[in-house]
Structure 1
Amino acid sequence: MYFRRVSVALVSGLVGYGAWYGYNGTSADHGQALSRGFTTTTNTIDPAAEPTRHVLVIGADQLHKGTVVGNEPISKMTHHDGRRVLEIINPEQATEVLRKSEESYLVNRGQGVVRYDLVQLPSNNPIEDDHDEKIVQVPSRDEGASNADSSDWMFWGVFDGHAGWTTSAKLRQTLISFVANQLNETYKAAGPGMFPAAEAIDNAIKAGFTKLDDEIVHQSVEKVLRSGSKTLAAELLQPALSGSCALLSFYDSRSKLLRVACTGDSRAVLGRRSESGKWTATPLSVDQTGSNPDEVARMRKLHPGEPEVIKAGRVLGGLEPTRAFGDASYKWSREVSTRLRNAFFGRTPSPRLKTPPYVTAEPVITTTKIEPENGDFLVIATDGLWEMLTNEEVIGLVGKWIETQEASSSNSGSSNMESTWSRLFGSSKKAQLPIEQGGENAEKTPIRLQQWGISPDAPGRFVVKDKNAATHLVRNALGGRNEEQVCSLLTLPAPFSRRYRDDLTVEVIFFGNSAKTGDGDVVPNVEAMAPLSQPVKAKL
């Protein structure tokens, strides 16, 4: 990330901030102008007598980095142009911010999953991302089978909200239940001892998605119009007017099949050990946006004669994802939108709106056979992560993290969990990321690296210092070994931070053939979780 370096000094709160107010920002070189704004008092300051602190000066379209001498409070908003000066947090504080929402669970069920880690980092205030995880114990379909023959349906979902947080919150509350109910009906319809066809399972997942979106977008309107209540309208229409992408992974421990259902541009990537000992990165979803040629072709086929159905890579020139929950202004007819706006509230329909709906919640589903015995792992994350790291970097970083955890276990003695970990994942002492390179299929440089002016080939970018694999990914996405950049990005307040990074939600799921222990509980892995004021209950 590029910061202009400015050396400034504060004599006292009064004099220093007076000099700051005196800066008019008219010079083409803002760094020099800012420095001149403080130089009237620098000759009276002995820097050795006061502590020196690093600051960010936040402008409308630029960041400046500088130093401030003194103990006075630093956060200040200017009176005329919105510029703001903030003290940069230190590396210890940055680690506290990164770990504030981290969670980790040990899965002792003997059903092919041994652990999952997750973390969130807001950029919006409040965060517009959300997530949900559930494990459903499924009785055996064979006659006379006991509980010992049961299997698990395991779900992990990340939800990337936009234009507000209410749609993603609705998905957290209900999406997995909608999908599980549809799957249950499909399996029951197959009959005792029988299993549904693959297409029927996919259709059940799609039905769970689309039924929930119908409730959010259309059934809410019916209830609001019947009631005429503005209070009810405010409650029911919020998830319809905002929107959210959704990525839901569904693992059936009986078949060892992992299905990934993607609506929007969150992403799932599988890590698998190759014969060389390195890891391969296999994307299990495709970003569904106006930049995806297949999605563009689908949209143009559905809306012939509308050349602006995709404009500048966006639906009707506005919405980037072509599939999403909510976003009702792209799904309601012009009549419904106008009626709701006149009676309650809402957005004016786009002048390009002709043949809605333009956006669907129906997911694209992939199916992959998991190899728990080989230590496969899955990373699912909202698009904020993939704006900063490639698929290969993400898988390589988790691979490097695994090596570090195994080495740490060897040095400190092994518990049962650590022994399982070592057996599944092995170890390596190589310095670079242990990832097979993609060759001609290598990805483009992530857009945030381009924005920050960082070369993806810069040596020594990455670091391993977190017990939580998801937190490890977020730290390295923000700068890794470059602590100055990590601290600066975490110092930026909302809404300015949104220009440099998005909300982040990351989950890492580790597969493995560990034995069931105890009652098969899912228990907190406290060493990889943020400190909590109250004990965490087992999660199942």
Structure 2
Amino acid sequence: MVHPPVINLMPATSSDQLRALDEVKDFALTDMDRGGDERWTYRMLEEPVVSEELKRVAEPRTSAAGTVDSVSFQPCKTWHYRSQDRHKVEEWALPGGGTWTYAAVFDGHMNHDCVDFVSTRFGPYLKSLLDASLRTCPSPSALPSLVSGLLRQALLHIDQILVSDFIGLFPRELDALRRVNPTHAKNRVNDKGGENSGYRKTARAFGGSTALVTLVDPRRRHLWVANVGDCVAVLAEQDRSGNWGSRVLNSIHNGSNPGELERIRAEHPGENDCAWNNRVLGFLAPTRALGDVWLKLPAAYAELVFRHLDADWLSPELMEPHVPRIRSPPYLSSTPDVYHLDLGVGAGTSGAPSQRALILCSDGLTDMYDGYTPQEMADEWTQVIGRALGSNTGPNSGRPKTHLALSLLREAIGGSDTQLVSRCLTVEMEERWMDDTTILVQRLP
């Protein structure tokens, strides 16, 4: 008879038990405010550890000129959920003298292909348009409308590239498209032969990105804001009495904006599901975006082409319920709203602001202010910025400047409540518990 091996374990001593308890004393359980029975473990952090961990994850940066602070935050460590936000801050030396400041936030969805293309290609294209136009020495009075037109042109151009690159893979006539062999279509869209392969062009077209773009001229007299999607721009201003006020500078292009839903329904009369469940065709939350070409083309492209794309981020079942609703495309707009502000208005008068800051953010920040109106959010953010700027003045102004974007992020995820901040940073979940969040704060004269 063979006896099974026996392992003898010594009973834990009181010291062992105390040591084990000490190792888990900083851990707790949370339902992440979701309700239900499921709980996740997180670790309580104390200062200064919690602040250092936030810096590590958010990677706060300041532009070379020292005028723009930025953070991009996604605490979920799962590779699949890595951030699809992108942002750019650049200083451009252009004809006419001085330096222009370009800042932009791009919020991608579905994949990384579209947002990578848009964020990489848009800035250089806009810069080239500005360079050529400024060489003609436009009059100062013509500058606001000139630059506004260039911003609009550049955003539409990038979207047109996404559409035309994809359409060029197949016959343009729908009858000819329907005769394409399914095997050929599948091979074409899954060819990964390079950056301009069929796969790349199809993936860039199927994915989408919002865009929030700003320009400030060398004299710091003009501010332009161009928007496609649901990112938000806010101008924070302090008056001569020290009081802070805020202005939301752009319209938000998503289902929370009744005007956007009305616009879509007016463009598609009789189609009750064109803006269903506050989403485009019941699928997409932003009502304007670059890419998302299947929502801009006839249904045949979704049925005969996109469905063959083999990608880990795409399931045909995700798209199929919405395809029958495509009857009179396009349903998604790529037309930007462009705004111009004269920052010089009131200069030298008692009504001129003593301090100003421009806040740009992806919708990850607005998601953390559920139930707030856009103006209420703007007011909250402005008070945070005001306190941070106030801490950079006075008798202790020689200390390092407060990072404005990091201050906004810290307030949004818990502020001085280290338990809430710790929970956000350390909760052990495989799925992401918050949206990608990017914040830029630019100091203005």
User: Shorter-normalised TM-score: what interval?
Assistant: 0.7 to 0.9
**1:175 corresponds to which residue?**
122
Between the two proteins, the alignment pairs up a number of residues equal to 386
**Unpaired stretches in structure 2, ≥5 consecutive residues:** 1-8, 172-184, 311-315, 348-352, 370-376
- Which whole-Å deviations, capped at 9, do the CAs of 1:56-92 have from their partners, x for residues lacking one? 446698579xxxxxxxxxxxxxxxx986544444444
**1:135 corresponds to which residue?**
91
2:433 equivalent to 1:510: no
AA aligned to 2:229 is G
48, 51, 70: which one aligns with 1:95: 51
AA aligned to 1:477 is A
Q: Secondary structure at the match of 1:206?
A: helix
- Which whole-Å deviations, capped at 9, do the CAs of 1:329-362 have from their partners, x for residues lacking one? 2112211222213654464352211111111222
Is the Cα–Cα contact under 8 Å of residues 109 and 207 in structure 2 kept in the other structure? Answer: yes
The TM-score with structure 2 as length reference comes to: 0.77
Structure 1's 277 and 243: CA in aligned 2 closer, same or farther, altered over 3 A?
A: same
Structure 1's 290 and 413: CA in aligned 2 closer, same or farther, altered over 3 A?
A: closer
**Alpha-carbon deviation of 1:49?**
7.8
AA aligned to 2:435 is D
CA distance, structure 2, for counterparts of residue 406 and residue 61 of structure 1: 38
**1:396 corresponds to which residue?**
383
AA aligned to 1:374 is S
Is the Cα–Cα contact under 8 Å of residues 110 and 207 in structure 2 kept in the other structure? Answer: yes
**1:240 corresponds to which residue?**
205
AA aligned to 1:105 is S
Q: Secondary structure at the match of 1:496?
A: coil
Q: Secondary structure at the match of 1:406?
A: coil
**Alpha-carbon deviation of 1:413?**
4.7
Q: Secondary structure at the match of 2:441?
A: strand
| 1:27-66 matched pairs, under 5 angstroms | 50-51=21-22, 52-57=24-29, 62=34
258, 263, 268: which one aligns with 2:223: 258
AA aligned to 1:94 is V
Structure 1's 327 and 123: CA in aligned 2 closer, same or farther, altered over 3 A?
A: farther
CA distance, structure 1, for counterparts of residue 210 and residue 397 of structure 2: 42
Is the Cα–Cα contact under 8 Å of residues 391 and 397 in structure 2 kept in the other structure? Answer: no
More deviation in 51-60 or 301-310? 51-60
**Alpha-carbon deviation of 1:192?**
4.1
Structure 1's 359 and 129: CA in aligned 2 closer, same or farther, altered over 3 A?
A: same
AA aligned to 1:360 is S
**2:323 corresponds to which residue?**
350
2:265 equivalent to 1:300: yes
CA distance, structure 2, for counterparts of residue 411 and residue 87 of structure 1: 34
2:396 equivalent to 1:411: yes
- Which whole-Å deviations, capped at 9, do the CAs of 1:292-351 have from their partners, x for residues lacking one? 122122212221221221112111111111011122221122112222136544643522
CA distance, structure 2, for counterparts of residue 256 and residue 479 of structure 1: 36
Is the Cα–Cα contact under 8 Å of residues 41 and 427 in structure 2 kept in the other structure? Answer: no
AA aligned to 2:102 is F
**1:104 corresponds to which residue?**
62
CA distance, structure 2, for counterparts of residue 392 and residue 344 of structure 1: 44
| 1:331-410 matched pairs, under 5 angstroms | 331-341=296-306, 344-345=309-310, 347-348=319-320, 350-371=323-344, 374-389=354-369, 390-407=377-394, 410=395
Q: Secondary structure at the match of 1:332?
A: coil
CA distance, structure 2, for counterparts of residue 467 and residue 413 of structure 1: 11
2:316 equivalent to 1:324: no
AA aligned to 1:411 is N
CA distance, structure 2, for counterparts of residue 256 and residue 129 of structure 1: 29
Is the Cα–Cα contact under 8 Å of residues 43 and 423 in structure 2 kept in the other structure? Answer: no
Q: Secondary structure at the match of 1:117?
A: strand
CA distance, structure 2, for counterparts of residue 197 and residue 46 of structure 1: 73
The TM-score with structure 1 as length reference comes to: 0.64
Structure 1's 302 and 193: CA in aligned 2 closer, same or farther, altered over 3 A?
A: closer
**Unpaired stretches in structure 1, ≥5 consecutive residues:** 1-13, 15-40, 65-80, 108-113, 141-149, 419-465, 513-540
2:414 equivalent to 1:479: yes
Q: Secondary structure at the match of 2:393?
A: helix
CA distance, structure 1, for counterparts of residue 231 and residue 300 of structure 2: 32
Is the Cα–Cα contact under 8 Å of residues 98 and 121 in structure 1 kept in the other structure? Answer: no
**1:217 corresponds to which residue?**
163
CA distance, structure 2, for counterparts of residue 494 and residue 286 of structure 1: 34
**Alpha-carbon deviation of 1:275?**
3.7
CA distance, structure 2, for counterparts of residue 86 and residue 412 of structure 1: 37
AA aligned to 2:380 is E
Q: Secondary structure at the match of 2:25?
A: strand
CA distance, structure 2, for counterparts of residue 259 and residue 178 of structure 1: 17
CA distance, structure 2, for counterparts of residue 61 and residue 403 of structure 1: 34
